[in-house]
Amino acid sequence: MRHETPDSFGAPTVTLSLPERFAATETSMAEVNIERAYPIRTALLALVARQHCFYYGPPGVAKSHLVRTLHAHIEGMSRSDWFERLLTPFMTDADLFGGIDMAALDRSVHRRRTDNTLATARIAFLDEIFKASGPLLNTLLKAINEREFDNDVVEQLPLWSLFCASNEFAQEAGLAALADRLAFWHVIRPISDSTNFVRMLQLDNAAPIQPTLSVADIEAAQAEASSIEVDRDVYAAIDALRHDLRNEGIEHSDRRFKSLIPVIRATAWMRRSPTASVDDMAYTRFMLWRRPEEIPTVDTLVLQLASPLEAEAVRLGNERIEPLVVEVTKLLDNRNELTLPQRQRQSINLHRQLAAAAEDVTSLANRLTSRGGQSARIHELRQSLKTITDRLLQEMFEIQRESP
């Protein structure tokens, strides 16, 4: 609910509701994390659901930048509320949880000095997580799952979410338990769209970020989301999804499927629904793959249940638009090897296909909008079609289209 409060001149100003403040945060983060719509949304869902995220991608694709800008959007975070480390094979648990408190040891008490460590953090970021040793990562298991830390006595940790990044996957089978505790998984790729790439080059990374959330906001959101009712159909859908994934050779633990529930509740809360339904399962597709080659299968199975129109958008992109973009790019790169009539004939044919694909994307977007939904995938497809169409017109027909 929105509230009106008077400003210093007596005029009413609108105070955003809590879900609206999360939406404003999502919009603000997207301005400085380009082509990262889904990782941004799931980062916010992770905070509300008290879950963890893993980002896989090559160096230099701004994995850490996304988490740092999330932290910067939260007002009231003390130094001890944020913890960040670049992990190496030579680190010990003291690098994460603090060294031994020698004064306490003199009294025969084995305690650590935990100030400003992972033990005090609400949000933590561990970069190159799988470069750390197996024993060190195993010390994380209880901390990130039960939020407990043995410091002579068992202490409760204030941790909301742990964000991890790596340019490689875990090589040791013994780290499967850690991977199972990281809810959201994303492949972070370099920016693909030329217009977006130029926008990234023009960004002022030193510009201050205006906070849009507070510590109290996040704690309130967590409390509200945890009380969201879950439709019985959701449990039946998760069970059906478990069997469908198993039939495709994709197995997950019972704990993994149980972790879907708080995320589904958080998704419903973000759309301001008092009840979580099957429609709120769409983002669980980022929780149910472990190898990149499993992503198309997981996307299809989840979206068929949760968002058939989103599933149609994914299929349209994978089966039609992405191959079309490859075909146009190949023509442009090899045009000097063709005669003028060949170039013209192929260019006209491809332009017709691009126009037809754009019409289908628009139709799909309109159908989704009429149901009160929106899709980052549809936005990506529109951007991709516009970029490749503009390039085709400019390079083959010397037509420069003005930006809308």
Confidence of residue 402 (pLDDT cuts 50, 70, 90): low
Partner residues linked to 165 by β-bridges: 55, 127
Report pLDDT digits (tens) over 245-291. 999 999 999 999 999 999 999 999 999 999 999 989 999 999 999 88
Do 228-306 and 12-91+120-150+157-202+210-215 fall under one CATH topology?
A: no
Domain extents in the chain: 12-91+120-150+157-202+210-215, 228-306, 308-397
Q: Which CATH architecture has domain 12-91+120-150+157-202+210-215?
A: 3-Layer(aba) Sandwich (3.40)
Query: With 70 as the cut, is the pLDDT of residue 181 above it?
Result: yes
Q: What does the pLDDT look like over 315-367, one tens digit per residue? A: 888 889 989 989 998 998 888 888 888 888 999 999 999 999 999 989 888 88
Out of 4-18, 21-35, 357-371, which region has the weakest mean confidence (pLDDT)?
A: 4-18
* pLDDT of 10 strictly over 60: no
pLDDT of residue 13: 52
Give pLDDT, residue 403. Answer: 52
pTM of the predicted structure, to 2 decimals = 0.82
Angle between helices 18-32 and 260-270 (to 10 degrees): 100
pLDDT in tens, 190-223: 998 778 888 999 998 888 899 999 999 999 999 9
Give the pairing of strands 12-15 and 3-6.
antiparallel
Tell me what percent of the residues of the chain surpass a pLDDT of 70.
90
Pick the CATH number of 228-306 from 1.10.287, 2.40.160, 3.30.70, 1.10.8: 1.10.8
**Does 36 score more than 90 pLDDT?**
yes
Across the range 19-23, mean pLDDT stands at: 95
Q: What is the mean pLDDT of residues 149-172?
A: 84
- Identity at 38, one-letter amino acid code: Y
